């Protein structure tokens, strides 16, 4: 087959991949070709625009290393990460909604006892976080692993300022107690812009978009027999709740971080300045019993 033109090239490529033996590879490859060709037909790029697109993707790749994943950031800012999340995480009654993982999760987070203060050397408004983990029908889950991480009150994570602060902070791994509860102290996080010094930042600018995320605390919660929950709790009233650059906000994940005067906090600690209290009760759904082992 030769002499393809605008009208015949798509079928020619589809025919060429018809022999793919893995049915999923075939399905995905065919959809990729159909949608990519439809995109090009709609946009009708000039040769120069096509080169610009290739250069944009090349720069995105060059911006990726062990510490920076510009392709995931691209997926996040185009709403693809939240679309994949929505497809894969239907939420039954009683289960907590999910949202993006983001680039600041650290696998080797320090294990802490309930009640610990994880703010390290960071200064800010004290924040008490209390919460529980249970099944969708309200049975407390003891021994669940609760990973938490959040930014400081300037909007920076520990891993973005390790040369200044020397060690991880504002992140830890807790275990729920016999009643499925956990609690810790830290400082209240602020809204922050996602890393926007690369091609994704350039894209946001030309699309007339800001790079900000509303203030939030990340949670990753695991318990044997239950689907791992990746989510955040957002600070009610934040001005970016309706324009989160990665489309991650859901009403059920917004909570008041309640302001309290100095004094004795609910966990018995005496606090010398005003502080904020977040409480959130998480629901985990069971792994489907017919789920295939990965
Ligand atoms: C975050 O919340 O940490 C985050 C999520 C997506 C992109 C960038 C940052
Ligand atoms: Fe974050």
Q: What is the pLDDT of residue 75?
A: 98
| CA angle (167, 170, 175) in 5-degree steps | 110
Return phi, psi of residue 236, to 5°: -55, 140
Place of tokens 């994943």: 69
Q: Which residues contact 208 (CB under 8 A, 6 or more apart)?
A: none
Cβ atoms of 150 and 216 closer than 8 Å = yes
What are the residue ranges of helices labelled H in 89-184?
Answer: 162-165
Distances (CA, A) of 137 to 12, 27, 131, 221, 228: 53, 38, 16, 17, 17
* Rounded Cα distance, 196 and 213, in Å: 12
Q: What is the pLDDT of residue 291?
A: 53
Return phi, psi of residue 171, to 5°: -150, 150
pLDDT digits (tens, 9 = 90+) for 127-168: 999 999 999 999 999 999 999 999 999 999 999 999 999 999
Find the mean pLDDT for residues 215-230.
98
How far, in Å, is the centroid of ligand 1 from the Cα of 21? 38
Q: What is the pLDDT of residue 183?
A: 98
How far, in Å, is the centroid of ligand 1 from the Cα of 248? 9
* Rounded Cα distance, 23 and 29, in Å: 10
* Rounded Cα distance, 217 and 277, in Å: 12
* Rounded Cα distance, 221 and 231, in Å: 9
Q: Which residues contact 7 (CB under 8 A, 6 or more apart)?
A: none
Does pLDDT of 292 surpass 70? no
CA nearest ligand 1 atom 3, residue: 102
How far, in Å, is the centroid of ligand 2 from the Cα of 150? 6
Does pLDDT of 290 surpass 80? no
List the structure tokens of 62: 């060059």
pTM: 0.94
Determine how many CB atoms are found less than 10 A away from the CB of residue 133.
29
Band of residue 293 on the pLDDT scale cut at 50, 70, 90: very low
Q: What is the pLDDT of residue 1?
A: 81
Mutate to test the pocket of ligand 1, among 100, 101, 209 (most ligand atoms within 8 A of CB): 100
Mean of the per-residue pLDDT values for the chain?
96
Domain extents in the chain: 9-62, 70-293
Does pLDDT of 122 surpass 70? yes
Does pLDDT of 294 surpass 70? no
The strand pairing partners of 181, in sequence order, are 132
Distance in angstroms between the alpha carbons of the first and the last residue of the chain: 41
Find the mean pLDDT for residues 253-279.
96
Residues enclosing ligand 1, CB less than 6 A?
73, 76, 100, 102-104, 194, 213, 246
- What is the percentage of the chain residues whose pLDDT exceeds 90? 97
Q: What is the pLDDT of residue 289?
A: 73
* Rounded Cα distance, 13 and 10, in Å: 5
Class for the domain spanning 70-293:
mainly beta
Q: What is the pLDDT of residue 288?
A: 84
Concatenated DSSP letters for 182-234? EEEEEE----EEPP-SSHHHHHHHHTT---EE--EEEEEEE-TTBPPEEEEEE
How far, in Å, is the centroid of ligand 2 from the Cα of 113? 23
List the structure tokens of 30: 């065919």
| CA angle (64, 66, 68) in 5-degree steps | 45
Place of tokens 């999923």: 24
List the structure tokens of 273: 């300045």
Mutate to test the pocket of ligand 1, among 72, 190, 246, 249 (most ligand atoms within 8 A of CB): 246
pLDDT digits (tens, 9 = 90+) for 51-105: 999 999 999 999 999 889 999 999 999 999 999 999 999 999 999 999 999 999 9
Q: What is the pLDDT of residue 82?
A: 98
List the structure tokens of 95: 């289960």
Cβ atoms of 245 and 171 closer than 8 Å = no
- What is the percentage of the chain residues whose pLDDT exceeds 70? 98
Of the candidates 176, 207, 189, which has an alpha carbon nearest to the alpha carbon of residue 104? 189
């Amino acid at each position: 087959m030769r002499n393809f033109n605008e009208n015949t090239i798509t079928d020619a490529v589809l025919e060429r991949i018809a022999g793919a033996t893995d049915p999923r590879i075939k399905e995905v490859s065919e959809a990729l070709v159909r949608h990519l060709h439809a995109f090009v037909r709609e946009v009708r790029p000039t040769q120069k625009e096509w080169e610009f697109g290739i250069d944009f993707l090349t720069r995105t790749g060059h911006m990726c290393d062990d510490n920076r994943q510009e392709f995931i950031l691209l997926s996040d800012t185009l709403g693809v990460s939240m679309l994949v999340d929505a497809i894969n995480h239907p939420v039954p009654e009683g289960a907590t909604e999910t949202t993006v993982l983001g680039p600041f999760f650290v696998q080797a987070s320090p294990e802490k006892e309930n009640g610990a203060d994880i703010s390290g050397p960071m200064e800010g408004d004290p924040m008490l976080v209390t919460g529980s983990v249970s099944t969708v029908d309200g049975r407390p889950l003891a021994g669940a692993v609760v990973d938490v991480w959040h930014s400081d009150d300037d909007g920076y994570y520990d891993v973005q300022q390790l040369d200044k602060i020397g060690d991880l902070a504002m992140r830890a791994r807790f275990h729920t107690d016999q009643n499925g509860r956990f609690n810790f102290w830290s400082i209240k996080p602020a809204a922050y812009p996602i890393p926007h010094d690369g091609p994704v930042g350039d894209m946001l600018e030309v699309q007339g978009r800001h790079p900000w995320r509303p203030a939030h605390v990340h949670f990753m919660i695991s318990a044997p027999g239950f689907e791992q929950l990746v989510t955040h709790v957002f600070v009610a009233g934040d001005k970016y709740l309706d324009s989160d650059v990665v489309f991650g906000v859901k009403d059920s994940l917004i909570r008041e971080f309640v302001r309290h005067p100095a004094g004795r906090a609910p966990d018995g600690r005496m606090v010398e300045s005003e502080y904020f209290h977040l409480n959130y009760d998480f629901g985990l759904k069971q792994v489907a019993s017919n789920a295939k082992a990965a």
